[in-house]
Amino acid sequence: MIQYYEDFRTQPLLKLWVGPLPILILYHADTVEVILSSSKHIQKSYPYKFLHPWLGTGLLTSTGEKWRTRRKMITPTFHFTILADFLEVMNEQANILVENLEKHVDKEPFDCFLDITLCALDIICETAMGKKVGAQNNKDSEYVRAVSKMSDLIEHRQKSPWLWADLTYPMFQEGREHTRSLKILHTFTDNVIAEKSCEINNQEQHKTDSDGNYEQSGPKKRRAFLDMLLNATDDKGNKLSYMDIREEVDTFMFEGHDTTAAALNWAIYLLGCHPEIQKKVQSELDEVFGNSDRPVTMDDLKKLRYLECVVKEALRLFPSVPNFARTTSEDCHIRGFKIPKGTDVLICTYVLHRDPEIFPNPEEFRPERFFPENCSGRHPYAYVPFSAGPRNCIGQRFAQVEEKAVLANILRRFCVETSQKQEELGVVAELILRPNNGIWIQLKRRRACMS
């Protein structure tokens, strides 16, 4: 699709056969809007089924009433004040990343993809589960390896119809690896949830003992999504069951790290290609932080407006989730064509974001496209890296905070350079848009490259 989109862009829509499955592909703002704005077409397509063994039917994969109730229960866990708590974790992990990057200063080009991914993984483990896995300093963690193995296995299974049948999948080597990885992933989350519920029970006990006047002693403990899930209730006051909680924790682990890791990598690559844009980001950082190396605050993030445009423009060119899919729940019409109920529809953001009518010279990296005056009047469905409508990404603000915080920490210390050409990246659009050949950069210390 990436290679041939120029050939089919002028067509109103496209039908693609994936093995026995016909898929309708949409890549224009007005056609995408029909599906995304609807509160009816919220069911995910068949290939999402391969996420079920790991994620169950959590927020990403569920549908109907189950999804609606969960979405309502989980939305408050992404509140601004909670994100401010999470920013502390992001700063701490970004600091470890920056220290790890130090050893590359003034050296040969190196591939930064893994360093960045492990940082994103450490952030999500600590914010979702309240558990430090130390992935950045312990690249051999069994859990970390299982997360990345599982994502690869799911991606490959989705594209290989001969691996689809549950009955025969375990006969393939991949099916057996799937079973092994699944066991590691679920055992890990099971243990963390058990530890957390035990902690909460102890605290409750303490509360009753002291007549309800319990105050936690010792240093303030950070909240994690898991703590909030253990306490969340629906409209009728029902709590989530153990399995419900595991589904959601696993979903955050999956959706919450590969996506931000890819987005960070693409942003770094683009800044490396465009030193003049990088300089503008660094001037803005200097205005906000001066010479100080203090942690980034939510107030700082508000002031980093140019960096925000850089992050948005990088997600336009390289949307971490290059495709996502729905099954239509009733007949509808798109550009005069009748689309029957039950059709699998793929929204291709990679192509949508390159519409020259909306983004002139679409291949050029121009953060100015996202200055408020340049966005006004733009079709609301022309740019949807986080999807849009009722089933948009619940982690959008979390991701934006993380991206800005990590990039700010890196660019306050270093200048990034790259001579890697776009055609050398090996861009692949799987579950996530990845550079198959890695992101090769060189680092210089700020003082040396700004003088």
Q: Report the interface residues with ligand HEM, using CB under 6 A.
A: 44, 59-60, 71, 251-252, 255-256, 259-260, 263, 320-321, 324, 385-387, 391, 393-395, 398-399
Rounded Cα–Cα distance for residues 294 and 280 (Å):
21
CA distances from 409 to 115, 236, 269, 301 (A): 14, 44, 16, 12
Considering beta carbons, is residue 36 or 163 the nearer one to ligand HEM?
36
Considering beta carbons, is residue 135 or 443 the nearer one to ligand HEM?
135
Q: Min. distance of Cβ 44 from ligand HEM in angstroms?
A: 6
Considering beta carbons, is residue 282 or 320 the nearer one to ligand HEM?
320
> What residues contact residue 318 under an 8 Å CB cut-off, 6+ apart?
262, 263, 266, 270, 427, 433
Considering beta carbons, is residue 73 or 415 the nearer one to ligand HEM?
73
Rounded Cα–Cα distance for residues 268 and 61 (Å):
31
CA distances from 118 to 37, 64, 230, 292 (A): 35, 35, 27, 26
* Token representation of residue 263: 């987005």
Considering beta carbons, is residue 256 or 438 the nearer one to ligand HEM?
256
Considering beta carbons, is residue 224 or 443 the nearer one to ligand HEM?
224
Q: Min. distance of Cβ 71 from ligand HEM in angstroms?
A: 5
DSSP states of 38-85 as a string?
Answer: -SS--EEPGGGGGGHHHHTT-TTT--HHHHHHHHHHHGGGG-HHHHHH
DSSP-derived pairing of the beta strands 21-26 and 344-348: parallel
Q: Min. distance of Cβ 94 from ligand HEM in angstroms?
A: 15
Q: What angle do CA 80, 42, 26 make, to 5 degrees?
A: 105
Residue 24 phi, psi dihedral angles, 5° rounding = -90, 130
DSSP states of 264-282 as a string?
Answer: HHHHHHHHHH-HHHHHHHH
Q: Min. distance of Cβ 18 from ligand HEM in angstroms?
A: 16
Q: Min. distance of Cβ 38 from ligand HEM in angstroms?
A: 13
Per-residue burial over 205-243, b if 16 or more Cβ lie within 10 Å, else e, is eeeeeeeeeeeeeeeeeebbbbbbbbebeeeeeeebeee
| Cβ(9)–Cβ(351) below 8 Å | yes
Q: Min. distance of Cβ 325 from ligand HEM in angstroms?
A: 7
Considering beta carbons, is residue 255 or 442 the nearer one to ligand HEM?
255
Q: Min. distance of Cβ 393 from ligand HEM in angstroms?
A: 3
Considering beta carbons, is residue 229 or 399 the nearer one to ligand HEM?
399
Q: Min. distance of Cβ 58 from ligand HEM in angstroms?
A: 7
Q: Min. distance of Cβ 402 from ligand HEM in angstroms?
A: 7
Closest CA to 398 of 71, 123, 136, 144: 123
Rounded Cα–Cα distance for residues 448 and 451 (Å):
6
* Token representation of residue 14: 């496209």
Q: Min. distance of Cβ 6 from ligand HEM in angstroms?
A: 23
Closest CA to 263 of 409, 434, 149, 100: 434
Considering beta carbons, is residue 311 or 415 the nearer one to ligand HEM?
311
Rounded Cα–Cα distance for residues 433 and 426 (Å):
10
| Cβ(50)–Cβ(169) below 8 Å | no
User: Which residue minimizes CB distance to ligand HEM?
Assistant: 395
Q: Min. distance of Cβ 290 from ligand HEM in angstroms?
A: 29
Considering beta carbons, is residue 75 or 201 the nearer one to ligand HEM?
75
